[in-house]
Structure formats: C-alpha cells, structure tokens
Structure 1
Amino acid sequence: MPAAEQSAGTSFVRACGLAELADDAPHRVELGGVAVSVVRTGGQVFAISDVCSHANVSLSEGEVEDCRIECWLHGSSFDLRTGDPSGLPATRPVPVYPVKIVGDDVLVSVTQES
C-alpha cells in the first residue's frame, strides 16, 4: 500500500481506501495539515477543501448531489470538479485537489507546485 507517490512534479499521499468511501457521502481526512473532503459520486472520486469559503465550517458534514457538495450551515454548494460556488452566500471557490486511484487506495495531492 503506497504511502506517497510522485507524479509529474506533484506529490500524492494516501488519503483513504476506496472501501472507506460510500457513494455521495463526504469523507473527511487531514493531509499535511490540510482538511480535505474526499467524495465518491457518479463513479468518480473527488477531493475538495473541507472548509467552506463563506463560513469556515466543514463541508464533509454536508450533502452531495449532482457532483456538488452543499455546506450544511448556510446552503452554499460547490462543484466537486472546480470548487466553484453555485450561489450565495458563498462567492469564492474552494480548492480542489488532484486524485489518483492506485489499487484500492485513494491518493490526493495537496501540495502547491512551484
């Protein structure tokens, strides 16, 4: 089971196993001090910041529908592919992170390329 992997200047670390992800149920992990919500939906796996850009609360406590994650506090939702908000009250996107599936492991990169 790989703990980390390099790919084209991007460093990936194991976030969780595929078996830990239920469809449309956000799974919170911390990677290098970064809170990340890992989501399996529509046969794909996404990684998005677990912090709402509007109210600084955990997105992994919200619901997933139509490739969007909704903040439980004020109802802002964010596209899992781009991090873009769908509307008020959030106006700023949240970071999304590259994901790789290696065997049964979900690898995520939260490092900034220089």
Structure 2
Amino acid sequence: MRFVKVCPLDKIPADGALAVEIDDTPVAVVRSGGSVYAVSDICSHAEVSLSEGEVYDTTVECWLHGSCFDLRTGEPTNPPATEPIATYEVRVEGDEVYVAFDAEDEPPRT
C-alpha cells in the first residue's frame, strides 16, 4: 500500500468535500468536524459524485436521492443506499493530504 499526495489541506472546504482521482479511481476527500476522510466519490446507489453532496456529523449525503454514508466506515446510514462505499486511510503531513491506495488490490477498507 502506498500513500498518494492528493491535495493541500486548505483546498478541502470546511465541512465539505473535494473530488480527486487516484489511478483513475474517483475519491472524495472530505473534512468534517476538523477531521479528514477519504471515501469513494461514487454513490453505491445511484453512481453519482458524492463530493457534490452535503457533509455533516461525519456523514456525506448524496445530492441525488439523499443516501447518507458514514465517512469512518463507508456504511450507508439511511436508504435508498444499501451497499457501503470504499473508505481509505488518510494522513495529513504538514499542509498536505495523503490517501492510502493500491491500484492492484481492492480499494482498502478502514
């Protein structure tokens, strides 16, 4: 597993998300309550960008149908989604954000 530098910390909105790609994989880098998370940027229900949704209380809400996902586990917290999304380990070093990723394996779950 390798850590990939994805963005400066100040590019992620407070209680918001930033869409990035790691090896052609869409990832949402999210700030919530002062913590930084990384999850799949694709909703498991409707296959739309989660980084365009609302972020609150360690949750990201899909803008299309309102499915919510726990940023810590990827588990859906309300319907219509029933399948989890991938989560990735994050490190903040100085002002840079790094995400753990290995394109040869399944996306890492935390």
Judge same fold: TM > 0.5, yes or no.
yes
Map of 1:94 onto structure 2: 85
Q: How does 1:1-114 map to 2 (within 5 A)?
A: 10-111=1-102, 112=105
Amino acid at match of 1:98: E
Identity %: 53
> How large is the Cα RMSD of the aligned pairs?
1.1
Amino acid at match of 2:56: E
Runs of 4+ in structure 1 displaced over 4 angstroms?
none
1:50 deviates by: 0.2
Q: Structure 2 stretches of 5 or more lacking a match? A: none
Q: Structure 1 stretches of 5 or more lacking a match? A: 1-9
1:21 and 1:59 map into 2 onto residues whose CA distance is 14
Count matched residues.
104
Give the alignment's TM-score, normalised by structure 2.
0.90
1:68 and 1:110 map into 2 onto residues whose CA distance is 22
CA contact (8 A) 1:48 1:94 kept: yes
Quick check: which has more Rg, 1 or 2?
Answer: 1
Amino acid at match of 1:52: C
